[in-house]
Amino acid sequence: KQEVTQIPAALSVPEGENLVLNCSFTDSAIYNLQWFRQDPGKGLTSLLLIQSSQREQTSGRLNASLDKSSGRSTLYIAASQPGDSATYLCAASTDSWGKLQFGAGTQVVVTP
Amino acid sequence: GAVVSQHPSWVICKSGTSVKIECRSLDFQATTMFWYRQFPKQSLMLMATSNEGSKATYEQGVEKDKFLINHASLTLSTLTVTSAHPEDSSFYICSARDPQLSYRDLGVTEAFFGQGTRLTVV
């Protein structure tokens, strides 16, 4: 069974620093890997999706990499802002219909 | 991107009553939808896979008689929490993938999520 782990569980940085969030998965047979943002008490906002055949995806200040062989994905957020404070979840797609296995998330606090 | 709408966004009910949560794909047809549950400070756990026109597939440990799923049309799946108890209080969220979307390499497209439903059983 696919297991997804996120490290660290929580992270606090001053504004302007770059953020590095790690995600690891046990089964490399994934269809894709998706990064989400979740604000307290809210739903999920999709940030980036990396197909299994891709190495990375970029959107604005966000960059996500994928290394299937080592079972790792990393989300980089450049020049962090207080508005980036949220919980970030990674999820591996385990079938072609979109079933996702989630990590526990990394809670990020960016201080002004 | 595709839109998935979930209703209600929050609900409070008394113990012993039933609550229905709706999940709609607004601009695409979804033969498959997924229902997740999230307890406070925890991640999302898949409860079941909802299949249009057939029975749902439940994950291990999820009571199918308690969490009734109906996927009667290509745009609507419902989750009914029957005889709710306080321990059923949680955040429930659905997702679906637009099967018509595809990438050049025929990769699996992203899953779109509803806004979630905060259920509180008192």
Per-residue pLDDT reduced to its tens digit, B19-51: 999 999 998 888 889 999 998 878 899 999 998
Higher pLDDT, B2 or A36: A36
Band (B101; pLDDT cuts 50, 70, 90): low
Q: Do A97 and B97 touch (CB under 8 A)?
A: yes
10-residue mean pLDDT profile of chain A (112 residues): values are 92 96 94 91 88 92 96 97 96 82 95 95
Q: How far apart are CA B117 and CA B64, in angstroms?
A: 19
CA distance A4 to chain B (A): 11
Q: How far apart are CA B17 and CA B63, in angstroms?
A: 16
* B82-111 burial code (b ≥16 CB/10 A, e <16): eebeeebbbbbbbbbbbbeeeeeeebbbbb
* Closest to B116 in 3D by CA, of A99, A64, A39: A39
Q: Do A42 and B45 touch (CB under 8 A)?
A: no
- Contact predicate B79/A82, CB 8 Å: no
pLDDT at B2 over 80: no
What is the predicted pLDDT for the residue at B106? 46
> Is residue A32 within 8 angstroms of chain B, CB to CB?
yes
Whether the bond between A8 and the residue before it is cis, its omega within 30 degrees of 0, is: yes
Per-residue pLDDT reduced to its tens digit, B37-87: 998 878 899 999 998 888 899 999 999 999 999 998 989 999 999 999 999
CA distance A75 to chain B (A): 17
Q: How far apart are CA B101 and CA B86, in angstroms?
A: 40
The residue behind tokens 């779109």 is B112
